[in-house]
Amino acid sequence: MKYKFNNNWTTDNGGVDLNSKEVDRYILVTPSENQIRLAEKPFYCFIHFGMNTATAREWGTGSETPSDFTIKSIDAAQWVKTIKASGATGVILTCKHHDGFCLWESDYTDFSVKNSAFQGDIVKMVSDECHKQGIDFGVYLSPWDMHDERYGTEAYNDYFCNQLTELLTNYGEVFEVWFDGAKGSNAVKFEYDWERYYAIIRSLQPKANIAICGHDIRWVGNEGGKTRKSEYSVVPSCLCDVEKTMKNSQQDESQASSLQKYKSTDEDLGSRKVLEKNAYLSWYPAEVDVSIRKGWFHSDNENKTVKSSKKLFWLYLNSVGKNCTFLLNVPPAANGVIHSKDVRSMKGLGKKIKALTENPILIDKPGRLSDDNGYIDFNFDRERKLNYVILKEDISFSQRVEAFDLYIRKSNGTFKKVFGGTVIGSQRIVCVKGKKCVGARLVIRQSRSNPVIKSIGFYE
Ligand code: FUL
């Protein structure tokens, strides 16, 4: 055999402690029930729709009037059907974007669909449709509001809480509340009453995760689909600091696409080197938000920028397959439907995601590995063309694996390394590109205490 495999790997463990007080401190950080539920349904969609759809802008100006919302009808059934076809399991609707216009008939402002040409409540139409077609519903409510006169005074916090209460009371179960960190650089200085907002969410929708300016879901840090080589879920608690998130978020309308460029500054958020310097740690998994087109809102000028299903699938593998959740934005047009180009890509994506696990070769549930489980062998029934390997840690025991390798075993008995990776986390998808083999070997090189592998699946 060309490679040396160490059965009793725990004595080596990459030269770092397998068990120690410090390691215990890391693995004691585990997800909440809500975070576990989200990790099990890691792909969902954004719907950016509102005043900006009618005016073909990204941010609006704050001086629009309800009559500028010229859209008269929407086909919510088509929206949800399109999203379901992609394999996504939820929708987050921009109930109010930075321009302040509300897609529901709020009792606390005149600036809503109520006073426009639109007949009805768009939040109700979309949430009803989600419930009808069996997918989750979530809300985006922009804290920054360019229109409302109360913004900048304590009365705005009351207004925001009232709106949050409406959204979390009248539209059934809400799976995620998305608080955007974006705020114009010239906006008045104002302290949002986050603790009050969070208390309302926890009491009215205890199953909802709070994203971005919240403590349940971390923004991956860019809007281009880039994830880190090692995306850790156990990170320093200071990353939950809302002010820090806001500083990195969009601060100008024209930045809509510049955030699609990658920043690599904060590449390491959760290695031992980082954690040992931080007294407080949190389970704060990353969410990748990307738009299917150049902008977040639909504009006919950007129909050429619709991403192909191949590109979307790559984004899926690079997020869902790398311990992140994936929030893909699909913005309907001003005629009330999602454009046929976007529909085509979404359908294509759905097919690709389905095909990923359509032909299982073997699925195993190893559980907690023992000291002499340095490697585990898997024997296939016959020679197979291996395409994907899907690994999952049991994250209720935290995120433990720090380095692993995958080998295939050829029909002549030799091993060939096909992948060397770092973290696994809730899900790691490894592409093997149809290599012929009769078995495989998973080698754990480094871990925080003994790994707990929930499952490993091999797919043709
Ligand atoms: C940003 C916003 O400014 C964009 O308009 C969009 O809503 C995106 C998801 O977040 O920060």
Beta carbon of 99 within 6 Å of any ligand 1 atom = no
Q: Please give the pLDDT value at position 44.
A: 99
User: How would residue 262 be classed by pLDDT, with cut points 50, 70 and 90?
Assistant: very low
DSSP state of 11: G
pLDDT class of 2 with cuts at 50, 70, 90: very low
pLDDT of the residue at 25: 98
- Judge if the beta carbon of residue 327 lies within 6 A of ligand 1: no
Question: What distance in Å separates the CA atoms of residue 394 and residue 340, rounded to the nearest whole number?
Answer: 40
pLDDT tens per residue, range 145-165: 999 999 999 999 999 999 999
Q: How far is the CA of 376 from the centre of ligand 1 (A)?
A: 44
Using CA atoms, how far residue 287 sits from 35, 150, 225, 442, in Å, is 12, 31, 10, 27
Span from the CA of 17 to the centroid of ligand 1 (angstroms)? 42
Distance CA 193, CA 161 (A): 9
- Given a contact cutoff of 8 angstroms between Cβ atoms, the answer to whether 393 and 447 are in contact is no
Average pLDDT over residues 187-199: 95
Q: Would the pLDDT of 253 be above 90? A: no
Residue 259: predicted pLDDT: 60
Q: What pLDDT, on the 0 to 100 scale, is given for residue 190?
A: 93
Residue 256: the pLDDT is 61
Query: What's the predicted TM-score (pTM) here?
Result: 0.96
Q: How far is the CA of 447 from the centre of ligand 1 (A)?
A: 37
182 Cα–ligand 1 center, Å = 6
How would residue 142 be classed by pLDDT, with cut points 50, 70 and 90?
A: very high
Residue 1 confidence (pLDDT): 40
Q: How far apart are CA 330 and CA 339, in angstroms?
A: 9
- Residue 263 in this model has a pLDDT that exceeds 50: no
The residue behind tokens 């913005």 is 331
Ligand 1 atom nearest the C-alpha of 250 is: 11
Least confident residue range of 66-70, 276-280, 339-343: 276-280
- Mean pLDDT, residues 22-40: 98
Nearest ligand 1 atom to the CA of 291 is: 9
Which string of DSSP letters, residue by residue, matches 366-426? -EE--TT-SEEEEEEEEEEEEEEEEEEE-GGG---EEEEEEEEE-TTS-EEEEEEES--TT
* Mean pLDDT to the nearest integer, 224-237: 95
Mean pLDDT of 263-277: 83
For the Cβ of 222 lying below 6 angstroms from any atom of ligand 1, the answer is: no
Distance between Cα 220 and ligand 1 center (Å):
14
The confidence score (pLDDT) of residue 6 equals 83
Q: Which atom of ligand 1 is nearest to the CA of 140?
A: 7
CB 168 within 8 A of CB 131: no
pLDDT band for 7, please (50, 70, 90 cuts).
confident
pLDDT at 264: 38
Q: Other CB atoms closer than 10 Å to residue 92's CB: what's the count?
A: 24
Nearest atom, ligand 1, residue 181 CA: 11
342-389 pLDDT tens trace: 999 999 999 999 999 999 999 999 999 999 999 999 999 999 999 999
Distance CA 212, CA 130 (A): 23
pLDDT at 444 over 70: yes
Q: Assess whether the C-beta atom of 182 lies below 6 angstroms from ligand 1.
A: yes
Which atom of ligand 1 is the closest one to the Cα of 255? 3
Whole-number average pLDDT of the chain: 95
Indicate if the pLDDT at residue 3 is higher than 60. Answer: no
Position 177 scores a pLDDT of 98
Question: Does any ligand 1 atom lie closer than 6 A to the CB of residue 296?
Answer: yes
pLDDT tens across 312-341, in order?
A: 999 999 999 999 999 999 999 999 999 999
Taking the centre of ligand 1 as the mean of its atom positions, its distance from the CA of residue 108, in whole angstroms, is 24
In angstroms, the CA 5 to CA 9 distance is 9
- Say how many Å lie between the CA of residue 96 and the centre of ligand 1: 12
E strands, 284-374, are 286-291, 324-329, 360-364, 367-368
> Does 249 sit in the ligand 1 pocket, CB within 6 Å?
yes
Structure tokens at 443: 């080698």
* Sign of the C-alpha dihedral computed for residues 335, 341, 347 and 349 taken in this order: negative
Is any atom of ligand 1 closer than 6 Å to the C-beta of 250?
yes
Q: Which helix (H) or strand (E) holds 160?
A: helix 154-169
Ligand 1 contacts CB of residue 245 (under 6 A) = no
> 311 is written with which tokens?
């590109």
Pocket test for ligand 1, best of 250, 287, 292 (most atoms within 8 A of CB): 250
Instruction: Kindly state the average pLDDT of the residues 74-103.
Output: 98
Alpha helices, DSSP H, located in 32-136:
33-40, 51-55, 76-85, 122-133
Tell me if 348 sits within 8 A of 434, measured CB to CB.
no
Does residue 180 line the site of ligand 1, with CB under 6 A? Answer: yes
Rounded distance between C-alpha atoms, residue 383 and residue 42, angstroms: 32
CB 458, CB 380: distance < 8 Å: yes
Residue 303 has a pLDDT of: 97
By C-alpha distance, which of 446, 356, 435 is closest to 405? Answer: 446
With a cut of 50, say whether residue 247 has pLDDT above it: yes
pLDDT at 440: 98
Which atom of ligand 1 has the smallest separation from the CA of 58? 5
With a 6 A CB cut-off, is 148 part of the ligand 1 pocket?
no
